Amino acid sequence: MATIKINKQNFFHNLNQFTLKCGSKAQVGIVLKDNAYGHGLELMAELATEFGLTEAVVRTYAEAKRIKPYFQSILVLGDRACVDAHCSFALNCLDDIDQAPHGAVVELKVDTGMHRNGIAMAELDEALQRIRKQGLRLKGVMSHNRSADELSSELFWQQKRFEMVKQRVKAAGFDTVRFHSFNSATALRLDCRHEDLIRVGIGAYGYSELPEIYRVIELKPVLTLWAKRISSRILQKGDRVGYGGTYEASHSMEVSTYDLGYGDGWMRSTRFQSFVTAEGLPILGRVSMDYVSLASTKEEVCIMDNALEASKQVGTISYEMMTLLNPDIKRIVW
Ligand SMILES: *Cc1c(COP(=O)(O)O)cnc(C)c1O
């Protein structure tokens, strides 16, 4: 099976950029959902703790339980609330409020324009009343931006709406609530000093999907993907490689099979021309479940050292490129 190498220095570099923008580590929440964007949940939790972060964000309660020892508090974005002093649970609709048990720590998500999750702004007063009645502990009020990584004024329109939400929550007497709406792209674009918390995912792992003009802060890729040589052979002109024999040798050449395939989360898609690895080697023919072929005899090759560049070759985004990677792949820190 392939190997993932995690560059701790680059991870710390990225976390430091966001810490500098905020002013303190306490304001930086590391988003560790979906196996820490494919990097490895416990591993990245441990490194984030070593750096000095105390707040984490995950999707499920099961993920939260796995990393509990590392953080002061963990926000669970997409699971049913329960009573757990360590965890807060995002409330994504009015029903979530009614179903949360008395004493649960919750953070109310308000839909300021993305229309994916959260209560409508018109439901805010109703939601706050129900939270009181239900005996929930409202720790935060949050929102999510739909266009933070696009060059448009939409982000500012949504931020304005969130400011209105803040005023109304405070006016309703909830004065110890924390407010947060920044993801990586928002944090890279706007001043973070007055944010109670920013929720940093992709930026911590080294990427920004923002247009070039926003690339003021240098981020460094954390994950690299490596494959090992399984066997080698000499092909004669006209020999064809792999399923369907879609690659044909145009001359005599030596090729090797490496231990990475779509079973590891590496895309097989034939929509694009052969993927070119980090070392400039095109993948020859089709990707198998556990193997790819390359014109190399090196014992180990780097398949991907930049998920953003790789994602462009296959028509997706850096996020998907990394979260697809099989959790069983060995991860090592270096
Ligand atoms: C995934 C997620 C984030 C992190 O977004 P990035 O673009 O990776 O920084 C922040 N907030 C919420 C609600 C999310 O679901």
Q: Tens digit of pLDDT for each residue in 240-294?
A: 999 889 899 999 999 999 999 999 999 987 665 789 999 999 999 999 999 999 9
What pLDDT, in 10s, does the model give residues 149-167?
A: 877 788 988 999 999 999 9
Task: Please give the residue range of the domain that contains residue 248.
Answer: 223-333
Domain boundary among 210, 245, 265: 210
Q: Please provide the average confidence, as pLDDT, over all residues in the chain.
A: 95
CATH number at residue 307: 2.40.37.10
Q: Are residues 57 and 199 in the same domain?
A: yes
Q: Is residue 197 domain-shared with residue 278, that is, in the same domain?
A: no
Based on the domain organization, do 277 and 201 belong to the same domain?
no
Clarify whether residues 80 and 157 are in a common domain.
yes
Best mutation site among 144, 145, 208 for ligand 1 pocket (most ligand atoms within 8 Å of CB) = 144
How do residues 31-85 score in pLDDT, each as one tens digit?
Answer: 999 999 999 999 999 999 999 999 999 999 999 999 999 999 999 999 999 999 9
Query: Do 236 and 311 belong to one domain?
Result: yes
The reply to whether 215 falls in a domain is no
**277, part of any domain:** yes
**pLDDT-above-90 percentage for the chain:** 88
Which of 133, 170, 237, 243 does the annotation list as catalytic? Answer: 243
Q: Residue 213 has what pLDDT?
A: 79
Centre a 10 Å sphere on the Cβ of residue 128 and count the other Cβ atoms it contains: 22
pLDDT tens digits, 212-222: 878 789 999 99
Mark 216-238 as b/e (b = at least 16 C-beta within 10 Å): eeebbbbbbbbbbbeeeeebeee
128 and 227 assigned to the same domain: no
Same domain, yes or no: 16 and 80: yes
Catalytic site residue from 21, 33, 109, 139: 33
Whether residue 183 is found in the same domain as residue 265: no
Dihedrals φ, ψ of 14, to 5°? -65, -45
For residue 203, the ligand 1 atom closest to its alpha carbon is: 9
188 and 243 co-located in one domain: no
Q: Which atom of ligand 1 is nearest to the CA of 319?
A: 8
Concatenating the DSSP letter of every residue in 153-202 gives SHHHHHHHHHHHHHHHHHHTT--S-EEE-B-HHHHHHS--TT-S-EEEST
190 and 261 share a domain?
no
Q: Whose CA is nearest to atom 3 of ligand 1?
A: 183
The last residue of a domain, from among 179, 210, 241: 210
pLDDT at 272: 59
Per-residue model confidence (pLDDT) at position 179: 98
Ligand 1 pocket residue status of 181, Cβ below 6 Å: no
Ligand 1 atom at minimal distance to the Cα of residue 142? 13
Domain boundary residue among 175, 210, 245? 210
Q: Whose CA is nearest to atom 1 of ligand 1?
A: 201
Do residues 188 and 236 share a domain?
Answer: no
Find the 184 Cα to ligand 1 centroid distance in Å.
7
Say if residue 188's pLDDT is above 80.
yes
Residue 262 annotated among the catalytic residues of the structure? no
How high is the pLDDT of residue 153?
82
Ligand 1 close to Cβ of residue 201 (< 6 A): yes
C-beta of residue 125 within 8 angstroms of C-beta of residue 164: no
Q: Is the domain of 101 the same as that of 157?
A: yes
pLDDT at 141 over 80: yes
**pLDDT at position 215, please?**
77
| Nearest atom in ligand 1 to 199's CA | 10
Contact between residue 91 and residue 77 where contact means Cβ atoms under 8 Å apart: no
Residues 193 and 305: their CA atoms lie apart, in Å, by 32
Active site includes 243? yes
Tell how far the Cα of 266 is from the centroid of ligand 1, in angstroms. Answer: 23
Report how many domains make up the chain.
2
Q: What is the mean pLDDT of residues 107-136?
A: 95
More confident residue, 246 or 101: 101
- Could you tell me if residue 109 is inside a domain? yes
77 lines ligand 1 (CB under 6 A): yes
Residue 63, domain member (yes or no): yes
pLDDT digits (tens, 9 = 90+) for 192-214: 999 999 999 999 999 998 888 78
Only one residue has tokens 């993932």, namely 4
Q: Could you tell me the CATH number of the domain that includes residue 134?
A: 3.20.20.10
